[in-house]
Amino acid sequence: MTQKDVFNDQYSKYYNLFYAEKNYASEVDYIDRIIKKFHATASKILEFGSGTGGHGLLLQKHGYDISGVELSAEMAKIAQKKGYNCRVGNMVDVSLKATFDVVIALFHVVSYINANQQLLQLFKNARNHLNIDGIFIFDVWFTPAVIHQMPAVRIKKAENEEIEITRLAEPVLHHLQNVVDVNYHIFSKDKRDGKYLEFSEKHSMRHFSVPEVELLAMNSGFLLERAEEFLTGNEPSIDTWGVNFILKAI
């Protein structure tokens, strides 16, 4: 499966509400520490899958010169209105004709690339946008944890002064492809006029093992520097759903 815009116009409008509790500040502090550890002189960042600018805008406040690429035109528009330098494009094949010290792809955006050919193309594209000794930082679903914990049906609710929404997530596992289809069914109520809206999305998420990422790195001009639990920095385990990888351009 190639990358496509799974976030339709309706979902994009609700995205920030769904993840209002997400601690972007802590995540950006963590990414900043990684950058300083693995590339102390880095100043210029390219963000793949920049969403509505939650990470990018905070990295700007840390002093980085950062640009974003986002597949969803609706989400890119939201980021641009916030003052984030973001363009619409596909991280698999976008060409900015510039190089950076760091490429980041956060919040599991690499897991949205399911097919081997597109994954390798993505890694090569990240490498093409990096200077020598630049680093590629990304987090993905971790295969040992997915197999051990098994995705389950989940219900999430959120609201603000205008709307209340309920999201049902039903997973379907494809073991031979290392992919989990997460089928979202979303119900929204407009508090102002009492009208209801209902729509569905399918997000196909690939999970990865350490040797798999290492092989992708070797075939795209990288060395695997580190694999660790996102935020904590702990060693990955069967209880670690999100693993962060740091690759070095060679």
- Which of 164, 141, 129 is closest to 243 using CA atoms? 141
Per the DSSP assignment, residues forming a β-bridge with 166 are 157, 187
Q: Tell me whether residue 240 is in a domain.
A: yes
Sequence letter at residue 142: F
CATH of the domain at 238: 3.40.50.150
Give the tens place of pLDDT for each residue, 122-134. Answer: 999 999 999 999 9
Tell me if 224 sits within 8 A of 247, measured CB to CB.
yes
Residues 68, 88: Cα–Cα separation, whole Å:
8
Per the DSSP assignment, residues forming a β-bridge with 155 are 168
Residues 184, 171: Cα–Cα separation, whole Å:
9
Q: Are residues 233 and 217 in the same domain?
A: yes
Per the DSSP assignment, residues forming a β-bridge with 245 are 138, 227
Sequence letter at residue 131: N
Local confidence band at 237 (pLDDT 50, 70, 90 cut-offs) = very high
Give the tens place of pLDDT for each residue, 4-62. Answer: 455 555 676 777 788 878 899 999 999 999 999 999 999 999 999 999 999 999 999 99
CA gyration radius, the chain: 18
Q: Are residues 105 and 38 in the same domain?
A: yes
Q: Tell me whether residue 164 is in a domain.
A: yes
Q: pTM, whole model, 2 decimals? A: 0.93
CATH of the domain at 172: 2.20.130.10
Local confidence band at 2 (pLDDT 50, 70, 90 cut-offs) = very low
Q: Tell me whether residue 2 is in a domain.
A: no
Instruction: Bin 133: left if φ > 0, else alpha if -120 < ψ < 50, else beta.
Output: left
> Which domain, by its residues, includes 192?
146-205
Residues 38, 8: Cα–Cα separation, whole Å:
36
Q: Are residues 198 and 218 in the same domain?
A: no
pLDDT score at 14? 78
Q: Tell me whether residue 1 is in a domain.
A: no
Q: Tell me whether residue 94 is in a domain.
A: yes
Residues 111, 47: Cα–Cα separation, whole Å:
15
Q: Are residues 89 and 166 in the same domain?
A: no
Assess whether pLDDT exceeds 70 at residue 77. yes
CA dihedral 167, 171, 172, 174 (to 10 degrees): 130
